[in-house]
Amino acid sequence: MDDLIQNNKLTIIGKLTASLLHEVRNPLSAIKLNLDYMKMSEKELSGEIVESINSSLEAFDRINHIIADILDFTKKTSASLKGTSINKITERALEIIYSTAAKKGILIEKHFDENLPPINAIENKLLQVIINLINNAIEASSNKSKIIIRTGLIENSDVRKIKWEVEDFGCGIKPGDVQKIKQGYFTSKSEGSGVGLMVCKSLLDEMKAEFLFDSVYGKGSKFYIIFKV
């Protein structure tokens, strides 16, 4: 019974948050429009003013990003699970994220098992998870480093599972932060929100996939998604 009340409370909070954020978005778009408008006359403005317009635009982008993440998180699924190729979804994610990696001169290596059976997933949600994880790997990496994405089959006696993983050779996770990351909404970045991994976890739960990571501080990290076949 307590669980039921708790769940109801969470549903209500989710709905309130979603409608609140939708409300916030309108005035926010007005601010953005005005800033864009001011920026159009950049040439007539002093350097200092242009700089503060630019930093306001960046701040806008961050707010917008956080709102989008939270809205995704509170959104209910209507899509159903269907058989899809995890390699294809990863390719799509890479097309989307390619330029972000290129800006840091990061090379993304693909080690795909081409003979994987289909997985049961919600394509757009899995795409979002994969983009998030690759994006975190890029953010953790220093310029010109490498990221490896692997897909493969794990066969243990009678269970067959598909493993997707992204490995980076970046900053790694401080031992003291591991628990905080698992608890959620933790960020070690000055511009971070700590929402990304929580969204990943919730979307993967919905698809009944496992989500794991391990990391060596100062050496790099691996994030895994595991699907039952």
Ligand X SMILES: Nc1ncnc2c1ncn2[C@@H]1O[C@H](COP(=O)(O)OP(=O)(O)O)[C@@H](O)[C@H]1O
Interface ranges with Mg ion (CB under 5 A): 136, 196
Beta strands in the chain, from DSSP E residues, in sequence order: 82-84, 107-111, 119-121, 146-156, 159-168, 210-216, 220-228
Closer to ligand X by CB, 41 or 190: give it: 190
Q: Measured from the CB atom, is 137 or 209 closer to Mg ion?
A: 137
Nearer to ligand X, 53 or 203 (CB): 203
Report, in Å, the least distance between residue 78 CB and ligand X: 25
Q: In b/e form, how buried is each residue of 128-159, taking b as 16+ CB within 10 angstroms?
A: bbbbbbbbbbbbbbeeebebbbbbeeeeeeee
Residue 19 contacts which entry, ligand X, Mg ion, none (Cβ below 5-8 A, type-dependent): none
Beta-carbon contacts of 182 under 8 Å, excluding residues fewer than 6 positions away, are: none
Cβ–Cβ < 8 Å for 172, 217: yes
Residue number, 162 or 197, with CB nearest to Mg ion: 197
CA–CA distance, 125 with 96 (Å, rounded to integer): 14
171 binds, among Mg ion, ligand X, none (CB under 5 to 8 A by kind): ligand X
Nearer to ligand X, 30 or 216 (CB): 216
| Cβ-based neighbour number of residue 225 at 10 Å | 24
Least distance (Å) between residue 136 CB and ligand X: 3
Which of 63/81 has CB closer to ligand X? 63
Tell the smallest beta-carbon distance from residue 169 to ligand X (Å): 10
Comparing every residue's Cβ against Mg ion, the nearest one is 196
Choose among ligand X, Mg ion, none what residue 72 binds, the Cβ cut-off being 5 to 8 Å by kind. Answer: none
Q: How far is the CB of 173 from ligand X (least distance, A)?
A: 5
Q: How many residues does the chain have?
A: 229
Using CB distances below 5 to 8 A depending on partner kind, what does residue 193 bind out of Mg ion, ligand X, none? Answer: ligand X
Q: What are residue 213's DSSP bridge partners?
A: 223
Please state the closest distance from residue 103 (CB atom) to ligand X, in A: 17
Neighbours of 93 (CB within 10 A): 22
- Residues 127 and 100: their CA atoms lie apart, in Å, by 16
Residue 127 interacting partner from Mg ion, ligand X, none (CB closer than 5 to 8 Å by kind) = none
